[in-house]
Structure 1
């Protein structure tokens, strides 16, 4: 017998995480307004260095997600356009650049002053231009790390990457990024008067690995669970907020708490949708401006979203073990984009996850900066899993206005219901 009511109750771990993040943000913003430096860091930057130096950082994509979720995306994109910049490209990266121009009452939680430092990888043709633009603001300096090309991926990279990362990414790529991280450390030390403690960095790396192991256990629990016991809209914040505090005991405890809560829901027979007949996978960034969308197909179609990339990449993409903290950190970040977007690394991983979670259909949100999308979709279709591709930005409400209708047609036309549920 399944417990529908308990599955609809929000996870305590999700509530704790969002409350913690808002309190943390307000503290960082207040200190920044009094002159304390903070860093705006892209998701692909080595955050652990900033933590080891005691520099607070706000993740560009996380802040974009809050701006979108709090209905400030339109105003932020309008501010971008007013600067003479395109507002229809890389919206997820550029929202904070627009939001910093808005008055506090139009930005979530009063917004942020401009950062002292802006750090990113030179991904694609646009991200580095956005971060160079940050560096043109008075009081902000930009540091850009190189983006190296992917090497041919070994099969089942997720089984090798924690310890045999040279085989997955290539030693030369890792060494190159390690050298650049050393340059970043020296650049920050010179400007802040702080000095990185290698033993502290090693401790941060160990805690991040412990966090990743808990995330892997949680992912495996959810992959095996039938029916789905927890809303994906709870899993996302419960995983991602601790990811932005990676390398702290709080983040480890949060990851363990999420695991224990999911295990308890499964043990109690909880079901998000007791009449579960279709299991869906969402590939791409979260639709922060309409999270209710993920729950909107349960009553009519018995369809539940059982997978997003956030828990899955936290489970498979971050754990790295090694004796040299800097080289191990380079191995964590050198190929993170490859794992998500560059076939065959990405396509084989998505197929593995889809099969493991018993997915019946995939909604693939393809942004303008995600290469290899057609090959990812083709790999899934070749496995007999139908795919609906939606082209647009998760952070731009103008791009996804008819999304629910398109998914409903996809479910009717291409994703047959499983008789008797799952």
Structure 2
């Protein structure tokens, strides 16, 4: 699909609406917790849908870390970790939330995160477990850990299978384990909050999540097919991810639908982020929260536009699960979540597919210290004829010279490997 070149559009209404909603929601949540409601802090790879079905407010750890980092308080939060005698140069994305609890007064974004009653995370590594154990050292906080199981199957084109054939895609013992742990989480929360769990309510939540994923897939596919790109990833990230943290709600489903209609209108009207688009770029890895402006600073000088991030793509391919027992389907959503993003050949096949469907000319690959299999992703893309720049830094830690060197490194990469 080819869109004529016109002037660059204003910011997406879906992005500003999502940000406004999140601020209002956060204020309401703070008021609920102040009135006695239990708060859960949940890692992105843990089943938030159970909390939604039980009416327990929750904050996603990675989202809160992104807010702290974007408000330039990441270094202070990490300093607070170091003052307590713990490393501040490992798993910063997981640890910033913990360090943010010691931010004072106006330094705390949006009034600050209330003390969570529960923290919930998958133990994907020794360091992750240790970070969440520290949360539970506070007398008012308990930790519920999920085991991290390893992939024993390697299906080709997983994104075509996981929606309906998830029982075959994931090994039964992995699904058995997480289904059992999901029920254990229900018992844990019921005993401590007195709130009840209704499997029919979970089924309603799962249906809304599937509908949200369907709208995200339409949006992703439309952006992939449009030249030049109609949407900046600076807008698509909040417009997609804020509703993702509210998965299973009517608001989140409707927000995904409105995003699609807005992008559809932009394509129909011929709007373009960079009318003189010359180079289409893919950003693999977590968002660079302390410098989101980086993504746009190459447009004027090089006509280079970041047209892809994992946030919309995984929201399109990674979440929908249909049929079966809702609790087991929920287990299927999260059992292989890390595999899809980071374990080859699951991950490497998917990134190549996404690069080719979006017509990218090159890839910038942010490699974090806790991401396995990154070299296989780079190798698969290079083998497909797509040049890759690997950058090794932490997406939420703005300290040191590495962050300042990113722009120079990407500029040199464009000049010497892409534009030539």
**TM-score, shorter chain, exceeding 0.5:** yes
Report matched runs for 1:202-213 at 5 Å: 202-213=203-214
Is this contact kept in 1: 2:153–2:171, CA < 8 A?
no
Report matched runs for 1:391-402 at 5 Å: 391-398=392-399, 399-402=402-405
Matched with 1:118 is 119
1:191 aligns with 2:229: no
CA drift of 1:304 comes to 0.1
CA drift of 1:168 comes to 1.9
Secondary structure at 2:143 match in 1: strand
Q: Report the TM-score, using the length of structure 1 for normalisation.
A: 0.97
Q: Report the TM-score, using the length of structure 2 for normalisation.
A: 0.97
In structure 2, what is the Cα distance between the partners aligned to 1:341 and 1:27? 35
In structure 2, what is the Cα distance between the partners aligned to 1:26 and 1:127? 28
Is this contact kept in 2: 1:52–1:200, CA < 8 A?
yes
1:77 aligns with 2:78: yes
Is this contact kept in 1: 2:288–2:396, CA < 8 A?
yes
1:272 aligns with 2:263: no
Report matched runs for 1:26-65 at 5 Å: 26-65=27-66
Is this contact kept in 1: 2:228–2:274, CA < 8 A?
yes
In structure 2, what is the Cα distance between the partners aligned to 1:64 and 1:297? 26
1:306 aligns with 2:296: no
CA drift of 1:157 comes to 0.7
Is this contact kept in 2: 1:154–1:167, CA < 8 A?
no
Is this contact kept in 2: 1:276–1:304, CA < 8 A?
yes
Is this contact kept in 1: 2:288–2:395, CA < 8 A?
yes
For residues 12-58 of structure 1, the C-alpha deviation after alignment (integer angstroms, 9 at most, x for no partner) is 01111000001101111232234321000000010000001110000
CA drift of 1:105 comes to 1.2
Secondary structure at 2:120 match in 1: strand
Matched with 1:420 is none
Matched with 1:22 is 23
Matched with 2:412 is 409
CA drift of 1:267 comes to 0.5
CA drift of 1:170 comes to 1.2
In structure 2, what is the Cα distance between the partners aligned to 1:222 and 1:125? 38
Gaps of 5+ in 1: 418-422
CA drift of 1:326 comes to 0.3
Secondary structure at 1:304 match in 2: strand
Matched with 1:388 is 389
Matched with 1:2 is 5
For residues 283-310 of structure 1, the C-alpha deviation after alignment (integer angstroms, 9 at most, x for no partner) is 0000011111000001111100000000
In structure 2, what is the Cα distance between the partners aligned to 1:70 and 1:200? 36
Gaps of 5+ in 2: none
Secondary structure at 2:181 match in 1: helix
For residues 235-269 of structure 1, the C-alpha deviation after alignment (integer angstroms, 9 at most, x for no partner) is 00000000011001101100000000000000111
1:133 aligns with 2:148: no
Report matched runs for 1:18-417 at 5 Å: 18-398=19-399, 399-416=402-419
Give the number of equivalent residue pairs.
Answer: 415
Give every structure 1 segment of 4 or more consecutive aligned residues whose post-TM-superposition deviation is greater than 4 Å. Answer: none
In structure 2, what is the Cα distance between the partners aligned to 1:168 and 1:281? 27
Secondary structure at 1:201 match in 2: helix
Secondary structure at 2:349 match in 1: helix
In structure 2, what is the Cα distance between the partners aligned to 1:373 and 1:262? 31
CA drift of 1:155 comes to 0.8
In structure 2, what is the Cα distance between the partners aligned to 1:79 and 1:105? 16
Secondary structure at 1:63 match in 2: helix
